[in-house]
Amino acid sequence: MRTDELVELIALDAVSEGRLAPRVLATGLGLLALSGAVVIGILGIRVDLMQAMVDPVTVMKWLIPLALMAVAGFGAIRLTHPERSMPLTARVVIGGIVLAMTGWWAIRAFAVPPAQVMPRAVGDTALACLVSITVISTPALAGALSLLRRGASTSPVASGALAGLAVSGAATAIYALHCDEDAPLFFILWYGLGMGLVTAAGAVAGRRWLRW
């Protein structure tokens, strides 16, 4: 059997099982809500949440991760079809956000005295930030990958990475309901590292589990 015939058969089989997107979304969001409720239930919600959400700087703690979640989630679903690739627009958006956040962090770092850069960047809750984002993300990533296996991605590493970025973006936005460290030097660095770790884990898992 030729490769193109095999791809066609797999694609038809995926369609026969029903659309993956609603199931992936329902599973991912459900598990994120569950694990997020547990973590936030333990840590608590910041007392000034409403004021934080209207601050133009602090609100980026939600807008940026949620934007990455939306774009990466779309990309992961799209790649379940073997005849499709990740849109250039999605790549530009993700790359643009990463570059913009890197530039913003650098500008903030140069704007404060050198002796204050590390204290502001490290903050008081860096470890809790990384652990919380990972804990909230893990069940949803496992659930999403188990469903994405029913697709026929020809780019399993990219599919896994996008799934990891999507769930970690949502997890970061959930954790931000608790986190009251609002300095961009802190949240750009540690939120970015948290999402990066889960994205890397998704890529590794995708390479192993999403091959066909």
pLDDT in tens, 87-129: 788 889 999 999 999 999 999 999 999 999 999 999 999 999 9
Q: Is 59 in a helix, a strand, or coil? A: coil
From CA 28, how far away is CA 21, in angstroms rounded? 10
Comparing CA positions, the residue from 131, 206, 200, 133 lying closest to residue 170 is 133
Q: How high is the pLDDT of residue 21?
A: 79
Q: Which two tokens stand for residue 171?
A: 């997890």
Looking at residue 76, its amino acid is: A
pLDDT along the chain (212 residues), means of 10: 49 51 89 97 96 95 97 90 79 95 96 92 95 97 90 85 96 97 96 97 92 72
Q: How high is the pLDDT of residue 3?
A: 52
Comparing CA positions, the residue from 170, 182, 101 lying closest to residue 137 is 170
Q: Find the angle CA(65)-CA(71)-CA(73) to the nearest 5 degrees.
A: 95
Q: How high is the pLDDT of residue 4?
A: 54
Q: Which two tokens stand for residue 26?
A: 């329902």
Q: CB count, 10 Å around CB of 15? A: 11
Name all contacts of 43-47 with Cβ < 8 Å and 24+ positions apart. 43/128, 43/132, 43/178, 44/178, 45/177, 45/178, 46/177, 46/178, 46/179, 46/180
**What's the whole-model pTM score?**
0.88
